[in-house]
A = this chain, B = another copy of it.
Amino acid sequence: MPGAARDQTMLRRANELTVLAVLRDGTPRVMRDIADQTGLSWRTASVVTESLEGHGWLAGTEADAGDKRLGRPARRYRFRAEAGHVAGIDIGAHAICVYLADLAGTIVGMHRVRVSPGEPAADRLAAAEATVQAALDAAQLGNADVWAAAVGTTGIVGLDGVVTKSAVLPGWTGVDLGGRMGALLGRPVTVANDSNLAVLAEHWRGHRADTMIYLLVGVRLGTGLVIRGQLHRGAAGAAGEIGEIGEIGWSDAAQRLAAAAPGHLADLDGAARHVFAAARHQDPAAVAAVDRFATDIARGLTAMVLTIDPDVVVLGGGFAYAADLLMPRIDQRLGETCPHSPRLATSRLGDEAVGLGAVRLALDTVEQRITGLSSGTPLTPAAISASA
């Protein structure tokens, strides 16, 4: 390409991305506002906006009568979030949940099936595939409509999408989850640990702190990190695995908590609920068990807080309903050691955190493709869909 033509192409791409960036907040705008907010001239903004409309990124509508000035209604342009979709897949011990979202992150479909914690790996995989298909069918979407997908699951997950280590799900260690889901959807699929996705979701739709630790508190203890606004998975996807230090006592902390329940209920969730309730009524044994549980959590959390000094620690997971009991105790323990204690907060997303985090990770993949597309390729929805 000769120099001047190349300048034009680069400039055009930069202008297209600028207009898209302004309109992606979802607010429809008239041309004068697009020009103002992009800093482009009216003429340049018009050419770029009309081209984006032609490619299917934007939809133009005449403004309603109330906005009419000088007799002629001004045309408004909105981002077509429906131009593409992403899937967020949460494969857990008790349930598989698939979220479908448009490019604005609005959930357009959700499908959940219950599975048994003891389900063999092959059956769990087959159930996940069936759930994805059911979600697509219900939303009347095909595989080709899904531009990117991400999967969250329990255990340590390598950056290549293979489960490195799972202490919970039978046969799960070594499963190539990225490969399997990628084959189903016909494009690369990102896989991450459930706590990693939960922290991403909290950063997106919950507590928007720059640097935060998500603490999954339940039958298992786990953590995920957002550092300077980005999910931090580490060199091999093993960030946040402080529980690997045996002395910290995370592997059996929930068991020790549950042991304070009368008759040692086999169901850990039920036993823990009993202990938390008894502690609220000042039962001495239950209060002691909750104290010990909080101390166990704080032991690992203190090491993580001293390492990265986050703004916020968000407590989520199956025992989040007991945050009122746990947080003051954890806060006190942190304060005893840390020169700077982070703010403690409860998750705002409940059991949707992992699936929403997977949606966010998939949207990030789409963003990277949009901004990373070489300027020689036309910026069309089809080009982004195909650039996987």
Contacts and interface: CB of A to CB of B under 8 A. Distances in A.
Given A230-B228, A339-B156, A307 B303 contact: yes
Contacts of A306: 238, 240-242, 244-245, 303
Interface string A116-157: 000000000000000000000000000000000000000010
A39 interface: yes
A240 B240 CA distance: 15
A79 B6 CA distance: 25
Contacts of A190: none
A44 interface: yes
Contacts of A310: 234-235
Contact of A225 (B3, B164, B238, B308): B308
A338 interface: yes
Contacts of A113: none
A67 interface: no
A299 to B, nearest CB: 9
A210 B238 CA distance: 15
User: What 3 pairs across the A-B complex have the smallest Cβ distances?
Assistant: A234-B309, A3-B41, A236-B340
A368 to B, nearest CB: 15
A256 to B, nearest CB: 20
Interface string A28-40: 0000000100011
A267 interface: no
Interface of A: 2-4, 6-7, 10-11, 14, 35, 39-45, 156, 164-165, 210-211, 225, 227-228, 230, 232-242, 244-246, 302-304, 306-311, 337-340, 342
Contacts of A11: 11
B303 A339 contact: no
B156 A238 contact: no
A232 B226 CA distance: 12
A245 to B, nearest CB: 6
Total identical chains: 2
Nearest to A158: B340
B165 A3 contact: no
Given A35-B3, A40-B3, A241 B309 contact: yes
Nearest to A165: B339
Contacts of A39: 6-7, 10
Nearest to A240: B307
Contacts of A303: 242, 245, 303-304, 306-307
Nearest to A343: B235
A244 B338 contact: yes
Given A244-B337, A339-B164, A239 B308 contact: yes
Given A3-B45, A7-B40, A210-B235, 17 more contacts: A2-B41, A6-B41, A227-B227, A227-B232, A228-B230, A228-B232, A232-B308, A234-B310, A234-B340, A235-B340, A236-B340, A241-B309, A244-B306, A244-B338, A245-B302, A303-B307, A307-B307
Nearest to A246: B337
A35 B7 CA distance: 10
A211 B236 CA distance: 11
A357 B302 CA distance: 28
B43 A4 contact: yes
A311 B3 contact: no
A309 B159 CA distance: 12
A6 B44 CA distance: 11
12 contacts: A3-B35, A4-B43, A7-B44, A10-B39, A234-B310, A234-B340, A235-B340, A236-B339, A237-B309, A238-B338, A238-B339, A244-B306
A12 to B, nearest CB: 12
A6 B43 CA distance: 12
Contacts of A211: 234-235
